[in-house]
Amino acid sequence: MGLSPVSQYLLMFISVLSLSRETKAQTAPAVFYPFGSVAGDTVNISVEDENSTRIDLWRPFVFFGRTYNKTYVNSNGHLTFNQPSLEFYVKGFPINGSEDIIAPLWTDVDVSVNGIISYQQYSNGNVLTQATRDINQHFPYLSFTATWVLVATWDRVAYYYHSGTETSFQVVLISGGDLSFIFMNYGDCAVTYNAVQAGYDTVNSTAYFVIPGSINGSVIPNLVNSSNINVAGRWAFRVDTALDNVIGVQMRVTSFSDLTESGNIETVLEKLQQELVKSGLPSSLKLNFRRIKKTRP
């Protein structure tokens, strides 16, 4: 039996749709580290809504003074270290709780609808070269060499209750010597009406960071263009030690300088910025004086 013109039209329409879907699948966000089956990732969470997978780390990872040899990749967009978390009810940071949390996008993710969560560790090869180069670019003066990298990727995952949307993000843990860093990389992220938290938190919240606006799901699509290091879609943090504890930087001004005079204030800020970047803050750090008051030396 031959097809009626209407069903021929429908068939054509369907094949065009599947073609555009394939094309989309091939373009990974530019800031992403290699991921997925092409990169040889492991996929353990594939069908369940709430799930978690334990990874035994090839190298210990130091997170604000605590050393971990395992981590849990939790389907709802975050990593924990002591125990898995199936928590889809998002708490805003700082939690002042008893767990360290790294949350590229903690919200109610549901891969039983669509999406793939995968991960891989590296202790040699191109990914270490890439991590070494990236860290030295974002955090100059540390002379860093990466010896271990873990990449966990949420590739075009669905949110619970709003099937049809696709959201992609990645967390990269990097260590070498006594230093450790994390990247949170964002691709296209859909609006969600659930609560969201992006950033990190620690035991008793002695150190924490919230990507601005990330508790509000309607600003999530902006993540792809946001950054703390001038690389759209990437947030980078040094996490081995609490730099928040830097409460002062000592600087000696060898001659009297009138800070209200144009140029002087910029020079002082630049020196101060360099000192802070040397201690591990990202090089994109911006400093501003809120008020300038004329005082006698």
Ligand X SMILES: *[C@@H]1O[C@H](CO)[C@@H](O)[C@H](O)[C@H]1NC(C)=O
Structural tokens at position 242:
């609490």
Question: Interface mask (CB under 6 A) for ligand X, residues 204-223, using x and -?
Answer: x-----------x-xx-xx-
Q: Which residue's CB is nearer to ligand X, number 3 or number 30?
A: 30
Question: Interface mask (CB under 6 A) for ligand X, residues 133-172, using x and -?
Answer: ----------------------------------------
Q: Which residue's CB is nearer to ligand X, number 119 or number 237?
A: 119
Binding residues for ligand X, total number by CB under 6 A: 20
* Distance (Å, whole) CA 187 – CA 203: 29
Q: Are 201 and 97 in contact (CB under 8 A)?
A: yes
DSSP 138-155: HSTTS-----EEEEEEEE
Integer CA distances (angstroms), 16 to 10, 19, 54, 153, 254, in order: 10, 5, 40, 28, 70
Q: Are 280 and 177 in contact (CB under 8 A)?
A: no
Asked if 48 is part of the footprint of ligand X (rule: CB under 6 A), the reply reads yes
User: Within its chain, how far is the Cα of 54 from the centroid?
Assistant: 19
Indicate which single residue of 29, 51, 102, 240 sits in contact with ligand X (rule: CB under 6 A).
Answer: 51
Task: Tell me how far, at minimum, the Cβ of 64 lies from ligand X, in Å.
Answer: 9
Task: Tell me how far, at minimum, the Cβ of 37 lies from ligand X, in Å.
Answer: 10
Question: Interface mask (CB under 6 A) for ligand X, residues 83-122, using x and -?
Answer: ---x---------x--------------------------
